[in-house]
A and B are shown apart, each in its own frame.
Chain A
Amino acid sequence: MRSKNNKKVKLILKDGSSYEGKSFGANISSLKSISGEVVFATGMVGYPEALTDPSFRGQILVLTYPLVGNYGVPRKELWESEKIQISGLIVCNYIDTPFHHASQMSLGAWLKEQNIPALEIKDTRRLTQKLRTEGVMLGKIQFDQKKNNEKISFVDPNLRNLPAEVSTKKIKEFGIGRETIVVIDCGMKFNILRRMVARGFKIVVVPWDTDVTKLDFPFRGVVISNGPGDPMKAKATIKNVKKIIKQKIPILGICLGNQILALASGGTTYKLKFGHRSQNQPCVQNDTKRCYLTTQNHGFSVKKIPTGFREWFYNANDNTNEGIIHKKLPFMSVQFHPESSPGPLDTDWIFDFFLEKAGLINKKDKIK
């Protein structure tokens, strides 16, 4: 249960509003930075996955579901990256008595171990409503009002090259298979890897700025992973993807990968007012009556569809772009997360579709 000595901590937004709460994560003394972009996510499960999703890098995450911590934290193999990626966590009620057979530790213990601050403020709904109407906002978590008031300034993580921060530093191989697929890691969720490996491919993960056309081994396709921040900051990746397009190597972009593929092909992107961060985003496949429920986590979106491409999916709620596909060549990308984790498994078929278009599998080989 909540112990009495929990400190009162404040979340302060750039507009001056502040929210007091009880701390259940890391302590200030061991912290380096506690400012970031405050965003909210509405998923009701999947906090271990969300917290380790590199797309949340630099962000203070508000979870709208009011009970968080219920089933603890599973072993590392089930996370979406090596560590917690968010800068801070805001919940309504933290549950310190998890019960689950897969749990290794409580959420609070994990946050402490990973040095991430977390706050229990009651009215997360008001905070959400604010971010929704006024747009995402910079914020900071302040532990001691006297000491740190001036020390921490509001840092906009989107000004940084976030993919560079979260990307792998060296090339890594996973799985066994006759054919190889390269994943450009801009902040890749591990489940992209797991879903491809499950299909019997060898996966080589390369740093975000790798010129894959210069790799010294054969491969049959490229996946541009998800990742945090403004796609315009990933200039090196955009430049390299242009080369891949030129060589007509099959491409699948996911989330940030969708934006990078669009930018590399002559499209444009823009920042959404409050982004999509939930597990219930409806995406309609263009020219069909089929709609899929998807997980999303992005603050930027594709505006202009590049020449030669058509819109593949659109969002049934706000009509924003959810994917593009080349009219002739095997270049395609989706704004949502076909690898889910967290979220619905409805669009896992995207991997099959890509592999089929890339000429790597036949229809009958599909995983499902």
Chain B
Amino acid sequence: MNKKKFKKILVLGSGALKIGEAGEFDYSGSQAIKALKEEKIKVILVNPNIATFQTSKSLADEVYFLPINDYFVEKVIAKEKPDGIMLSFGGQTALNCGLNLEAKGVFKKYNIKVLGTSTESIKLTEDRQLFADHLKSIDIPIPPSGSAVNLKGAQKIAKEIGFPLMIRAAFALGGQKSGVATNEKELEEIVEGALAISPQVLIEKYLHFFKEIEYEVVRDEFNNIVTVCNMENFDPLGIHTGDSIVIAPSQTLSNREYYSLREASIKIVQSLKIVGECNVQFALNPSASTVDGKVDYFVIEVNARLSRSSALASKATGYPLAYVAAKLALGKSLIEIKNKITKVTQSFFEPALDYVAIKMPRWDLEKFKGAEEQITSAMKSVGEVMAIGRSFEEALQKAVRMQSGLIEGVTDNGFKDEKELKKFLTIPTPKRLFALTAGLMKGMTVKNLYNITGVNPWFLSRLENIVRVEKELLKTHKQKKEIKKEEMLELKQTGFSDKKIGILCGKTEFQIRKLRKSFGIKPSIFAIDTLAGEVPSKTNYLYLTYHGNHNDVLPLGDKAIAVLGSGPYHIGSSVEFDWSCVYTAMALKRHKKKSIIINCNPETVSTDYDMSDRLYFENLSFETVADIFEFECAYGLIISVGGQRPNNLAKKLSTEGFHILGTSASDIDRAEDRNLFSALLDKLNITQPKWQSFTNMQKALKFIEIEGFPVLVRPSYVLSGSAMSVCYNKNELRNFVSKAVVLSGEYPITISQYIENAKELEFDAVAQGGQIMIYGISEHVENAGVHSGDATIVYPTQRVYASTEFQLREISQKIAKELNITGPFNIQFLVKDNRPSVIEVNLRASRTFPLLSKAMDANFPEIAVDAFFGKALAHKFIYPKNVIVKSPQFSFARLLGADPVLRVEMSSTGEVACFGKDYDEALLKSIFSTNKFDVDKKTVLLSLGGSLNKAKFLEAVNTLINIGYKIFATDTTAEFLKSHNIDCMVVRKAFEQSPNALDIIISKKVAFVVNLSKNKLESKIKLNSITDGFRIRRATVDNQIPLFTDLHLARAFIKALGHYKISDLEIKSYKEYLQN
């Protein structure tokens, strides 16, 4: 075979993390780049996600922090002239971009080969009809469906497909008038109802309670195929696999079913000539075979690329899928590629597991005001965890603890009453698992629960077992007031935490831990070796289980340091913390230490097989960390690089006598405890916004009388909705407190002065023995009041006095010295009239670490590790020649009902950052990276609430006019503009008759929308009524049109738009920016 040797390959990343496309593509891209580098191929990467590992200087040869769209990627291609491109490692974003480039003839023009699966095959899988036809042609069943315009037609289709049927009204939103028909009569009723509101009905086979099963398939160009893993969803068909609890391998499939579906996957992959990875999803009949005795299934979906599921499969089995897929794309065969785990076998095999792996999604729906709680076929989760155990119960309870960090097990459920329980059983929500367990605790039967939810009785029986063990403990403990060794062992094998056992018998976690250890009950350390122990292998991939009595490894001893990871990605904790963990672990080598990573997030690079000397795929709880630490007899622990979750363990771990590297736990406590910290600031004479804690309303109102509104209210116990809120008057305060929080002696609320129109600055640094070794100051584009995770951030600062920066440095140094900080820290400042005050100090790496490290070309985590060993050197501050702007990525479009507006609570799911020669250039690239922006469409819709916003926006409007934008404006905005002689088209309010503001948006007449509310609480005031502004914002995100809701950002963007055309934007690699 005439094999082409590739010299330079372009890899497309997936951009910012968003719902449906998260950290898994950092893992897959990183592995692919490593696989290519091994072959001495030059790698070019386009990915604006600055917090990823794959965009590090040490990985790809050139990195472009640019939007992943056909315009920018073509520019990169023209400049770099690669001979190959890889589209399957950057999720749907990369795939879509690749298909667009192909359609535009770019690959042909520059003579670039698409490596791996061909674009023809990808197109085939992306087009529903073509794909359905293809599957039919190879005798693979898909759910039969049809459409009709009258009852007669519907009846004909019904006859062909057979009952039960799902009937939907076409063109109707939210499942209106849809229903399930099990007989002729029901069919007639539903079809007539649907036809009353719609000209057409869609009819498809109703796959009632079908199981959802996935296979991860790998194929090389020699037609060798393996299915690396199969997985089964806990929930029946109908819930997006990203929102399902998933078990690997499948639990309820017989040999026949397992291998029949495997054979079907292989047939599909073969027919599509996939080279690399492919995911096939099936619906499987749980209650019968086909009439002729075959396995009754349908294919639901095929993804011809690496996916979230493949990342999960990779972590669940230890098979490095992305690495192998990259090698296959180069034309290698599966037999040629060594098994990276066993090092003695090769990649043509299917992992045999001797454990179960359970993935549980992490939702943060309560963080989005108005978002619907129900989970359906559209994904809503923002992250996930994976738990490994030797029984389903053990793994499931681990997963539950990993997922929230607060809940101790599946039996932790507080449903108010029968009615609420019934609701959460009937409607699938993130609480369903807990509702099922609650049902069992209340004596509902497995059969009954199956009939309501369709969750397979096998799973329900496992939950029942957990309930039984808990009930037995409660019963025997009530009688004997003691736990016997055998009972303790069974509790641990069923996945109960020490803390949970303690809660059940009125003891502390530490008491139970002591008792457990006195019995000699400790978890076994088992390795994941891909072959269930069949081949001896030295693997570093470990988990804990109580279903064993030996350890696969020996302790590393005092050479080892454990780095605690971030746990599941969620709003506020994302890939940036994983980046810090990875670099911390790698930097330990410099000090001749071995790294142990503890993390439970399958979407991360830190949990990759070659990132640490030892990986524990485990929970970040005190119990688990302590068990690992005690087993390893390690030198120490690093808790300051994985975000808040590991940081919270400081006190407990230090009480247990474990050595925490860096700042001491008592100093961490002084920074975290609001009262202690406030006293510390007062002592150092550092300004802070005035605040106080209250246990009753009268005193709170007295405080406000003196300090005045607005105030920021932070409850210690939240009933529903936001954990904090800004209140502008007494009514709002009363409303928030009475509806959303508990206010009592036990649960005080904290009220602080809310400073309006202030700037917010971030001070990130590493200190050693209280001395700052390196720091960077970055500036929020939006005013204070927008969560720092949602803010657009620019480095170096653009609108800050040198004297302010000087003050920030002085204050930070004082704090560093007082807290004797060693390691990473971050301080958030409010600045008004050149007077900084401190809002918050975090004695850990912040979200901004990768951004600053990359912008300053100084690796903050490495410096932090040096500081832990007293070896850090003070860095001289060099003023950067370029500007970098970080933009948040929102996923509102995925969250039905959520109000896309910026608030004090964070709601973005990811971020990007782009370099530029100046602020404007960097800002444009950055905003283009998080939005689908049509630069050729020169129209805009303005809806500016309040006279102040209007006046402040006037200059921006003039800029828009100057660069040729046509302006649509809502009523008062239009009046205002006209009074300033600005030409604009008036559009009616959203609730008025058509054509109105919504029509302009839905018909995609505008390139972007600016919607400024009078004050940030517009929607809060009218809690139950849908405002006009909400409708405009919602329609804008639903139609994927860029939306600006912040005055400062909108102005900055329009100003930049006035300065640069898209063709003016520089195509420069990261290295070029650094050399510049």
Check B252 against A70 for contact (C-beta < 8 Å). Answer: yes
A66 and B222 contact, CB distance less than 8 A = no
A134 and B526 alpha carbons, distance in the complex (Å): 20
Of A71, A122, A129, the residue contacting B547 (CB under 8 A) is A122
Q: Nearest chain B CB to A5's CB is how many angstroms away?
A: 14
Is B534 positioned at the interface, with any CB of A under 8 Å from its CB?
Answer: yes
Q: How far is the CA of A93 from the CA of B493 in the complex (A)?
A: 10
Which of chain A's residues have a CB closer than 8 A to the CB of B286? 101
Would you call A45 and B348 a contact (CB within 8 A)? no
Residues of chain B in range 754-782 having any CB-CB distance to chain A below 8 Å: none
Known pairs A340-B259, A344-B262; A97 contacts B222 (CB<8 A): no
The reply on B345 being an interface residue by CB < 8 A is: yes
Cβ of B1019 under 8 Å from chain A: no
Is A297 close to B, CB under 8 A? no
A128 and B534 contacting across the interface, CB-CB below 8 Å: yes
| Of B349-357, B819-827, B829-837, B973-981, the one touching chain A | B349-357
Residue of A with least CB distance to B352: A42
By a CB distance below 8 angstroms, the chain B residues around A100 are 252, 254
- Chain A nearest CB, measured from B388 CB (Å): 11
B255 nearest CB neighbor, chain A only: A46
With A49-B255, A98-B458, A102-B289 as given contacts, are A123 and B534 in contact (CB-CB < 8 Å)?
A: no
Query: What are the interface flags for A125-148 relative to B under an 8 Å C-beta threshold, 1 for contact and 0 otherwise?
Result: 110110011000000000000000
Contact of B251 with A by CB under 8 A: yes
- The digit string for B216-229, where 1 denotes a CB below 8 A from any CB of A, is 00000011101000
A343 at interface by CB-CB < 8 Å = yes
Q: B547 contacts which chain A residues (CB < 8 A)?
A: 66, 92-93, 122-123
A52 to B462, CA, bound (A): 27
B531 within 8 A of A: yes
B533 contacts A125, C-beta separation under 8 Å: yes
Residues of B within 8 A of A70 (CB): 251-252, 458
Q: Cβ of B72 < 8 Å from any Cβ of A?
A: no
* Closest CB in chain A relative to B306 CB, distance in Å: 22
What are the residues of chain A within 8 A of B548 when measuring CB–CB? 122-123, 125-126
- The digit string for B335-346, where 1 denotes a CB below 8 A from any CB of A, is 100000000111
Which chain B residue lies CB-closest to A74?
B254
When the two chains form their complex, are residues A316 and B255 in contact, meaning their CB atoms are under 8 A apart? no
Known: A66-B390, A71-B252, A132-B536. A289 touches B335 (CB 8 A): yes
Q: Is A123's CB under 8 angstroms from B254's CB?
A: no
Across the interface, do B335 and A128 meet the contact criterion of CB distance under 8 Å?
no
Contact of A43 among B250, B352, B356, B493 (CB under 8 A): B352
Task: Say yes or no: A345-B348 contact (C-beta < 8 A), given A98-B458, A99-B461.
Answer: no
| In the assembled complex, A244 has its CB within 8 A of some CB on chain B | no
Per-residue B-contact encoding for A210-223, CB less than 8 Å = 1, 0 else: 00000000000000
B377 within 8 A of A: no
Q: A132-B536, A341-B255 are in contact. Are A66 and B334 (CB under 8 A)?
A: no
The 8 Å CB contact of B346, one of A97, A128, A281, A282, is A282
Contact of A289 with B222 in the complex, beta carbons under 8 Å? yes
* B254 x A280 contact (CB < 8 A): no
What residues of chain A lie closer than 8 Å to B465, measured between beta carbons? 1, 97
Residues of A close to B252: CB separation below 8 A = 70-71, 99-100
B699 at the interface (CB under 8 A from A): no
Which one of A66, A128, A133, A342 lies within 8 Å of B255 (CB-CB)? A342
* B531 and A282 within 8 A (CB): no
The answer to whether residues A124 and B536 also contact, given A289-B224, A290-B223 and a CB cut-off of 8 A, is no
In the complex, A247 has a CB within 8 A of chain B = no
Chain B contacts of A81 at CB under 8 A? none
Q: Is the CB of B353 within 8 A of A123?
A: no
CB closest chain-A residue, reference B342? A317
Q: Are B354 and A343 in contact (CB under 8 A)?
A: no
Cβ-defined contact, B222 with A293, below 8 A:
no
* B249 sits at the interface (CB 8 A): yes
CB distance from B62 to the nearest CB of A (A): 34
Across the interface, do A125 and B526 meet the contact criterion of CB distance under 8 Å?
A: yes
- Distance in angstroms from B255 CB to nearest chain A CB is 4
Residues of A within 8 A of B356 (CB): 66-67
Give the Cβ gap from A95 to chain B, nearest Cβ, in Å: 8
A321 to B391, CA, bound (A): 36
What are the residues of chain A within 8 A of B256 when measuring CB–CB? 78
Nearest A residue to B465, CB-CB: A1
For A293-318 the 0/1 string (1 means CB < 8 A from B) is 10000000000000000000000110
| A280–B258 touching, CB < 8 Å | no
Distance of A279 from chain B, by nearest CB (Å): 8
A12 at the interface (CB under 8 A from B): no
Given A42-B532, A99-B457, residue A284 in contact with residue B335 (CB < 8 A): yes
Are A316's CB and B335's CB within 8 A? yes
CB of B549 closer than 8 Å to a CB of A: yes
Tell me, yes or no, whether B607 is within 8 Å of chain A by CB: no
A343 to B256, CA, bound (A): 9
Cβ–Cβ < 8 Å partners of B334 in chain A? 291
A65 at the interface (CB under 8 A from B): yes
Per-position 1/0 for A326-350, Cβ under 8 A of B: 0000000000000011111110000
Alpha-carbon distance between A40 and B354 when the two chains are bound, in angstroms: 12
A180 within 8 Å of B (CB atoms) = no
CA distance A225 to B267 in the complex (A): 29
A278 sits at the interface (CB 8 A): yes
Within 8 A of A (CB), among B306-355: 333-335, 344-346, 348-355
CB contact list, B350-368 vs A, under 8 A: 350-356
Task: State how many angstroms separate the Cβ of A109 from the closest Cβ of chain B.
Answer: 16
Indicate if the CB atoms of A64 and B352 lie closer than 8 Å: yes
Give the residue of A49, A67, A74, A101 whose beta carbon is less than 8 angstroms from that of B288: A101
Judge if A44 is at the interface, Cβ distance under 8 Å.
Answer: yes
CB distance from A212 to the nearest CB of B (A): 32
Among B142-176, those with CB < 8 Å from A are: none
Q: Is the CB of B354 within 8 A of A66?
A: yes
B287 contacts partner chain A, Cβ-Cβ < 8 Å: yes
Closest A residue to B350 by beta carbon equals A280
CB of B968 within 8 Å of the partner chain: no
Task: Write out the residue numbers on chain B whose beta carbons fall within 8 Å of the beta carbon of A42.
Answer: 352, 354, 531-534
B253 with A45: CB separation less than 8 A? yes
Contacts of A293 in B (CB 8 A): 226, 348-350
Partner of B532, one of A65, A284, A289: A65
B485 to chain A, nearest CB (A): 14
Interface contact B254-A65, CB-CB below 8 Å:
no
Q: Is the CB of A282 within 8 A of B349?
A: yes
Distance between Cα atoms of A345 and B344 in the complex (Å): 25
Q: Which residue of B lies closest to A282 (CB)?
A: B348
Indicate whether B550 reaches chain A with its CB closer than 8 angstroms. Answer: yes
Chain A residues whose C-beta falls within 8 Å of the C-beta of B468 in the assembled complex: 1
Q: Is B456 an interface residue (CB 8 A)?
A: yes
The residue on B at minimum CB distance from A97 is B461
15 contacts between A and B (CB under 8 A): A42-B534, A44-B258, A65-B352, A92-B390, A122-B390, A122-B546, A125-B533, A128-B534, A278-B534, A279-B352, A282-B349, A289-B224, A291-B224, A293-B350, A316-B345
9 shortest interchain CB distances as A-B pairs: A46-B255, A97-B461, A42-B352, A64-B532, A128-B533, A289-B222, A42-B532, A342-B255, A99-B457
Q: A97-B457, A344-B262 are in contact. List 7 more A-B contacts (CB 8 A).
A: A71-B458, A97-B461, A128-B532, A132-B533, A289-B224, A344-B350, A346-B266
Which A residues are closer than 8 A to B by beta carbons?
1, 40, 42-46, 48-49, 64-67, 70-71, 74, 78, 92-93, 95, 97-102, 122-126, 128-129, 132-133, 278-282, 284, 289-291, 293, 316-317, 340-346
